[in-house]
Structure 1
Amino acid sequence: MQVVNYRIPSTPIDQYENYTIEVLRLALEKTRASYGDYQLRPLPEGVNRLRAKKALASNEYSDLVIEDSYDGSESADVSYIEFPIDLGVLSYRVCFVNPDVAPVVAAAKTLEELKRYRILQGIHWADTKVLNANGFKTLEVFAYKSSFRMVASGRADLFCLGASQIMNEYLNNNTGLQLSINDSFYFYYKLPRFFFLSSRSKVLKRRIEQGLLLAYQDQSLQALWDKNFLTSLRFIQLDKRKKFALNNPLNSHLNPAYEQYFAPLPEITQAIDTSSKK
């Protein structure tokens, strides 16, 4: 039986990280007939994303699989599967906004106007490099939970997350904060999220890659995506927002074939909005 190690979600309510575990399980199920049984084994509690990424390079845990943004800095000891496991949903970034600047941010017509404001990001997020490359001022925060308090209190102006994450974070981090969500725009930059493994895990890499393609072809992956994200996308209504497209220089050496699997989110949210009115 193949034992596959994975990192447990940072918090039990982290919908996105729970989704990635479901995707991993789905890929392994799709290949059970050809590769045999498997067991998913969680890493010890407290192993964060950065520590897990280092563990891949050292092969501290055999057949470890984690998901992360591609940033072009992977070592030769780490490999990745060029399939965007979230179908590109985190490429669409919606922002919490400091209430004091919310009106002027909402009135912004150009990227240059938005570059006046400080954008919070988590420590070592690929988004920080993308935003900096596009001329934005960023502030990295080590404690993710404190980001909500910082933007609500005015210690930063914007805190941007994936469109699929905003509703869950709003509902679970708003106690006493009166969080405000900007509803006028979203940033878009191609931010593929891949499964990463040790370069030694060649058989497991082939298995997961085949499983992802099978799940995509029979649409069970899309069904899982719908179950996890459609409600959030209905809440955020991308089709009613202005799009600000940014360049992601981290992808410059990446094969663009992964883009064929990206879901067309504004069109999907428009269809959701239309169907909900019938």
Structure 2
Amino acid sequence: MFLPAFSSLAEPVLRVRYIDASDMKHNPNNDYFGQLLKLALDKTAADYGPYELSPLDIDISQRRHFLEIGKGRVDVFWTMTTDAREQQARPVRVPLMKGVYGLRLLALNRADAGLLESVKGDEDLRGIRFIQGRDWPDTQVLRLNRLRVETDIAEDDLYGFLARHRGLAFPRAITEIFAETDSRAAGVVADEHVLLRYPAAMYFFVAKDNEVLATRLEAGLRRAMGDGSFDALFYQFPAHRDAISRANLGARILIELDNPLLPASVDKAEIRRQQDQILGHQYP
């Protein structure tokens, strides 16, 4: 007996749910991760079958992401890796951002635009109060480098707090800061003088038991790296292109920091090589 084409033997569709809060956070960067997710899944469709991406337009904390992954309500998210985070969820150990999240510019109160003009090294940053989210990995990175960090501020009010108070600095990745400060032009500005650098790897994370999705994403990302489509997406993504062009990285004081939280599995030399690539990149 022949079965019709629409029978249950058709390949199941993999549904992949992830948080996309680009509009809510006034930041288009999440769209890059959605496109990269799609690229990795496209590269493996012949091996693993069809898929459906389901972005969820809500804004939740990084800690909440891990809880939602564990409960099975979200399938994948992206964040900086640490040993602690790799115990909570399964990392896909392919860096997504070429170490950019360890290349930080500083958002300031607009009245403090010249605050960092005389900074020459990390010692000159000791008197600055940095503000960060309580559960962000870079909060501990800054503290472990003997910088003063305040976290008693709601994450959705960090820029508002910065606009209301002077003498503060809010470190943001070079691909984040301009989109964020531009959308809040009334009270904040991106510093033009300093660049913080430390090794950092941004990974996709999935549930601990989701080996199929983890394996598929790693295979897809590595194929994209091998055929050049990863770099094409990264450098031509409009927000990246605009941010790297505007950052004027070669003219800044580069301050090197350590990242003791980086897992031993991360190749620090490779992250540094990728960061050097960013620092030396020239758009036509």
TM-score, structure 2 length as denominator? Answer: 0.86
Q: Can you give the 5+ residue segments of structure 1 that lack an aligned partner in the other structure?
A: none
Cα distance change on mapping 1:16 and 1:93 into 2, 3 Å = same
Q: Is the 8 A contact 2:235 2:241 kept in 1?
A: yes
Relative to structure 1, is the Cα distance of residues 79 and 152 closer, same or farther in structure 2, using a 3 angstrom cutoff?
same
Distance 2:113 2:182 in 1: 19
Q: Does the C-alpha gap of structure 1 residues 75 and 89 become closer, same or farther in structure 2, counting only changes over 3 Å?
A: closer
Q: What is the distance in 2 between the residues matched to 1:148 and 1:69?
A: 21
Whole-angstrom CA distance in 1 between matches of 2:213 and 2:167: 42
Give 2:267's aligned residue. 256
Task: Tell me the equivalent position of 2:198.
Answer: 189
> In the alignment, what sits opposite 1:266?
279
Letter in 1 for 2:207: S
Change over 3 Å in CA distance of 1:5–1:142 after alignment to 2: farther
Q: Is the 8 A contact 2:21 2:56 kept in 1?
A: no
Match of 1:143 among 154, 168, 173: 154
- Residues 260 and 209 of structure 1: is their aligned pair in 2 closer, same or farther, counting only changes over 3 Å? farther
Confirm or deny that 1:32 pairs with 2:41: no
Deviations 1:97-124 (A, max 9, x none): 2355543421111211111110111231
Match of 1:202 among 208, 211, 226: 211
Query: What is the rounded CA distance, in whole Å, between the counterparts of 1:191 and 1:130 in structure 2?
Result: 10
Partner SS state of residue 280, structure 2: helix
Show CA shifts across 1:65-89 (max 9, x none).
1101112103645210111111221
State the 1:156 CA deviation: 4.8
8 Å CA contact retained: 1:166, 1:236? no
Distance 1:104 1:46 in 2: 32
- The alignment-based identity, stated in percent, is 24
Question: Within the alignment, does 1:9 sit opposite 2:13 as a pair?
Answer: no
Alignment match, 1:51? 64
Aligned counterparts of 2:164 and 2:100: Cα–Cα separation in 1? 28
What is the TM-score when the length of structure 1 is the normalising length?
A: 0.88
Q: Using the TM superposition, give the Cα deviation of residue 155 of structure 1 relative to its aligned residue in structure 2, in angstroms.
A: 4.9
The total of aligned residue pairs comes to 267
Alignment map for 1:44-193 (pairs within 5 Å):
45-56=58-69, 58-61=70-73, 64-74=75-85, 76=87, 78-99=89-110, 101-140=112-151, 142-174=153-185, 176-177=186-187, 179-193=188-202
Shifted more, 27-36 versus 75-84: the winner is 75-84
The 8 Å contact of residues 116 and 194 in structure 2, kept in 1 or not, is answered as no
Kindly state the Cα deviation for residue 145 of structure 1 after the two structures are TM-superposed. 4.1
1:59 positional shift = 3.7
RMSD: 2.2
Map Cα deviations across residues 198-236 of structure 1 (whole Å, 9 max, x no partner): 121101111000000111111111111112201111111
Structure 1 residues 75, 69: CA separation in 2 closer, same or farther (over 3 Å shift)? closer
Gaps of at least 5 residues in structure 2 are 1-12
Counterpart of 1:217? 226
Q: CA deviation at 1:252?
A: 4.7
| Structure 1 residue ranges, 4+ long, deviating more than 6 angstroms after superposition | none
